Amino acid sequence: MKKVILITGASSGMGKETAIHLIQQGHIVYAVARRIEQMQDLERLGGHPLKMDVTSETDIERVVDTIIKEQGRIDVLWNNAGYGLYGAVEDVSLEEARKQMEVNVFGIAAMVQKVVPYMRAAKSGTVINTSSMGGKMYFPMGAWYHASKHAVEGLSDCLRLELKPFNINVVVLEPGFIATEFGSVLLEGFSRISKNSAYRNMMDKIIEGTKKAAEGNGSSKPEVISKTISAIVNSRKPKTRYRVGKFAKPMVWMRVYLGDALFDKIVMSQM
């Protein structure tokens, strides 16, 4: 069945790869992001790229109104927009931290508030929220990113129960290491922090590990996400959570079953 799908953060990486995959399957895909110039190829394939910032309520209203006017419904909302802010809690400005939460958490809430009324009216729909394996565990230097993804987990669990009576599915995607722009964003964030930071040695270890992962076999290709999203979209009863990609399952397993002290020891052994 052809579905109307709205994907945020679709200008690159997981979002763009999946948009292409879903368009090729015959779905009606609205791909939104701030960088619309990077989505012209989606239009050539038959997609509908639109410029939108998830922190702008005006942008969100315009996009949702456009889709409803053109299609009359939204069957699937994939809240994929987000980024990683890295740096020690002592070093990262609260202004940057608030922006992280605004995009990764409040952006999802804003999309839900504008789209869900149409799903409720149709008594049908699926909301997919991109969390991370980082929503279940943690690494040093990632406090604000992990805090945002832990929040996505809690928000999604409550939302799932709230929307269950209306026949709307809420699914949490928990990717592991995926070959996207995430690593370059992380390194860019570190570059803005003083070379004299008290946490410099730890930061350098993480930089080294990130570069090795990018150069070697340390991450999965975005295709693993596109296949997973496709399975969710085409399922009548999708699972609550999908944990996919490099290290996602083993890292979360270690966090859950090894306990705090042992997990901390394993993480810090890499520092």
Catalytic residues: 11, 131, 145, 149
- Strand-pair partners of 28: 4
In whole angstroms, give the CA distance from residue 252 to residue 9.
Answer: 25
In whole angstroms, give the CA distance from residue 19 to residue 12.
Answer: 10
Residue 35, Cβ neighbours under 10 Å: how many? 12
Contact assessment for residue 76 and residue 6, using Cβ atoms and an 8 Å cutoff: yes
Closest CA to 110 of 68, 168, 57, 53: 57
Hey, what are 127's tokens?
Answer: 């909301």
At residue 125, φ and ψ (nearest 5 deg) are 155, 165
Q: How many CA atoms lie within 13 A of 213 on its CB side?
A: 23
Q: Which residue has the tokens 């997609």?
A: 47
SS3 77: strand
Residue 37 burial (CB < 10 Å; 0-12/13-18/19+)?
exposed
Helix (H) or strand (E) holding 4: strand 4-8
